[in-house]
Each structure stands twice: as C-alpha cells, then as structure tokens.
Copies of this chain bind each other. A is one copy, B any other.
Amino acid sequence: QSTVTLSGTVDVGLEKRWSGDATRMTANRNGTSNWTLSGAEDLGGGLKAVFQVSTSFNSDTGTVSSTDGLGNNGMFVGLTGGFGTLRAGRPVNTLYGNVLLANGTKGVSGHDANTVLGGNATVNAKTSNASSSVYVPNAVQYHSPRFGGVQVQLEYAPSESTAAGAKAGKALGVRYDGGPLSLTFVNYTGATAAATTLKAVNQFAVSYDFSVVKVLFTIRDQGGLASDSDNSWALGLTAPVGPGLVYASFNNNEQVGDDGRTIIAGYKYNLSKRTQAYVNVARRNAAWIPATVTAAGGDGTKSSTGFGFGLQHNF
C-alpha cells in the first residue's frame, strides 16, 4: 500500500544572452533538473499520507547550492482525503503556483517572465522574497476539494522570529479550472522586521485555451511604494505546432521612469513524451537590466537579444 517513486529531470543547453556575451552552458532553461522521491500511502477511510522530497541542481556543472542540497525543489509530508489536502514543509509558493505564464521561469536567462514578475528590489524588500520564489520554506498549506471547479488554497509560514515587526507569511488563493478556462487570485502578506509599511501582494491570472492557441495573462500588484511603479504583468500564448509547442509572451514591470519589458518566445519539440529539444529567443529593453546581466559585463544602456537551445529528459 506504500510506494516510493523515483523520478526527475536533466535539462542542459547553450545560450548567448546578448550580443557580445560569451557562449554559456545553461541549466534548466526549459524545465528544472531535479531528482525526486514521492509517494502516497492509503491510510483507510479515504485518507492518504503523501510526501515528496525533490531536489534541483545545476545540470551544467553538477552542483547544488551549499545548503540547499536536499528538498529545495518541493518537499513536504501531508494528508489528503475528502477534506482536501494538508501539506507541511517547503511546498510550492501559493503565488507562484497560480501564475499562468507561457513559459514560467524559463527561456533565456535574465529575460524570462518570472524575473519580470518578481518585481523591483525596493518593493520586494517590503514583502519578503517569498513573492518571487518558487518554493516557500517553513510553510503549511491547505488546498480544499474542488466545488464546481473552484478550489481554495491557504498558506501559513511562521516568521520563526520574535523581532519587532516580524510577521508570518500568509496566502489566500482561489482558483477555478473548468474546461478551457482557468482563473486564479492570490492575496499574500508577509514581512521581515524592516517591512513595517507592508501592503499585500495581489495577483490575478487567467488563461483560455482556444485549442489552436492558449492565451495566458498574469498581473501582480506588489503593494508597496507607489501605485505607478509596483505592478508587473505578463501576456503570453502557447500553440501546438507539429510534435511540439510554440510559446511567446510580452512581460512588463512597472518602474519609476521607463518600465522594464521583455519579449520571449521559443519552441519545444517533443522527441518523445519524456524528451524534449527546445530553442528560446528573447529581447529586453534597456530599462530592464537584471543585476546578473550587468555584473556579467552586459551593456545596461542598450536593448539586448538572447537565444539558446537545449535538451531535456524526464525520468
């Protein structure tokens, strides 16, 4: 009645992030290289114990970060049954779990939609980094059963601190999936000690599958300094083409002065159900300069175009 499943992904590619940059080997620009233990045990009466321990790694160099070597990529133990599902550990961030993006955090490094959605650093400092991370440590999550396609999601992550201003991270998500339509809304609050002026992060997302093309839109209000400089949004589309999928998206991050904008696109070619070759292209305007790009010698005053390709295998 108890099973362990061993699965994972290896995704490696090459890319050039802008004109004049060195060619680089990249990890995880289509999927996320990981190895995962997971399983479920039937406890009787409709109740099941569930667990997952997933660990991601850098598939270009064969390394992990110095402390995140086990369970950084979705780790929890929980119970599931008629009442819904309860998980505790480091599960998927409720904000991240409900974005509807054409290509998630993927594509050319530094040009992807989630980098844009992550927002500007000044605002992030007031809402904790949980708003842009994929997984959230020290978290308890409850997902309700679906009633007419609607699911309620609750997240609570204690601050584990008695410092003044420290607050637990809390998220409320509502999600509808029905036929071609998905609608999601998440309200997130949380604070480090310094973030006493915190306002909520609100995120709304919608996708509609027209069969020949699926349109996806996510908007996030980071609730911080000024109403004209804390929103970010991404409009994307995916379309099945041959034995694969084309994706494209336009992503905008409001900032005082010129907004940061990126256009990303690519094609994922299915060699099989489990193996995919891919190509990514991207263009970003001068106003949107991720620190990683400038640090690596990029010219922050010009628009840049990047491209990459790679191979992903799921096991």
Contacts and interface: CB of A to CB of B under 8 A. Distances in A.
Contact of A22 (B41, B75, B161, B297): B161
Contacts of A50: 313
A43 interface: yes
A23 B312 CA distance: 41
A168 B160 CA distance: 40
B43 A272 contact: yes
Number of copies: 3
A66 to B, nearest CB: 4
Nearest to A168: B23
11 contacts: A10-B77, A11-B77, A14-B88, A14-B140, A21-B162, A22-B159, A35-B53, A57-B71, A58-B71, A59-B89, A79-B311
Interface stretch (A1-9, A146-154, A205-213): A1-9
A70 B161 CA distance: 30
Interface of A: 1-2, 4, 6-8, 10-14, 20-25, 35, 37, 39, 41, 43-44, 47, 49-51, 53, 55, 57-73, 75-79, 88-90, 135, 137-140, 157-162, 166, 168, 271-272, 274-275, 296-297, 310-313, 315
B274 A41 contact: yes
